[in-house]
Structure 1
Amino acid sequence: MLNFAEAVKDFERVTAEEAQKRIDSGKKFILFIGRSTCPFCRRFAPKLNNVAKADHLAVAFLNSEDQNDLKAIQDLRSAYSVNTVPGLLVAQNGQIKVVCDSSLSEEAIRDFIA
């Protein structure tokens, strides 16, 4: 199984401001919010990586411990009810869905993103 750094290395790193702009664009946007020090994130990230690779999905990653962006991250998480990490947000055409569940299977992740 991949470690956290390996699992997120192909994800696009974004700031909270960049993530909000992508959400506002209306285009499909998949955002993983997490941190390397979270055991649940370390469990979830490899599964998301496998789904992203298999389905050729672009996934953005927001490090919830980014000290330079903490206030904006908190605001974004609050706005979309991302109460815990790992958080998976999918936005498209003004519709936003969020799940915070590290136990999701790859199949469940795929279904959520679809």
Structure 2
Amino acid sequence: MEQFAKDVSQFVETTAEKVEALIGEGKEVVLFVGRPTCPYCRRFAPKINEVREALGKEIYFINSEDRANEALAAFRAKYNMPTVPGLLVARGGEVRVVCDSSQSVEQIKAFIG
């Protein structure tokens, strides 16, 4: 879990409400949703961090540990993000989501664009 914390420390921690506002403004958003207690998230985080370094993109992060977070639950339902890790990319109001920890760095780069 220490490595997960190190990887996500390079991301911009945010909330579902803030991301929703950015999407509403048509901004580009790359969002990673995960939690340190999820083994798949711990495998995915270093790949996202590598992509961040390679593409020079700002990555937003929401820690999904708090399962009572109703705003996050609604956000995940709206964007069809049933599991974590979740990766959301939004541009000009168009939103794409993938929830697949087995993606390679190259697949993640292609998804982010």
Identity of aligned residues (%): 49
Residue number in structure 2 paired with 1:13: 13
Q: Where does the alignment leave 5 or more consecutive residues of structure 2 unmatched? A: none
Distance 2:107 2:34 in 1: 18
TM superposition score normalised by structure 1? 0.94
Residue number in structure 2 paired with 1:55: 55
TM superposition score normalised by structure 2? 0.95
* SS of residue matched to 1:3: helix
Q: Are positions 1:84 and 2:79 aligned together?
A: no
Residue number in structure 1 paired with 2:35: 35
- The amino acid of 1:74's aligned partner reads A
Q: Where does the alignment leave 5 or more consecutive residues of structure 1 unmatched? A: none
Shift of 1:66: 3.4
Distance 1:30 1:24 in 2: 14
Residue number in structure 1 paired with 2:74: 75
Distance 1:62 1:41 in 2: 12
After TM superposition, which residue ranges in structure 1, 4 or more long, deviate above 4 angstroms?
none
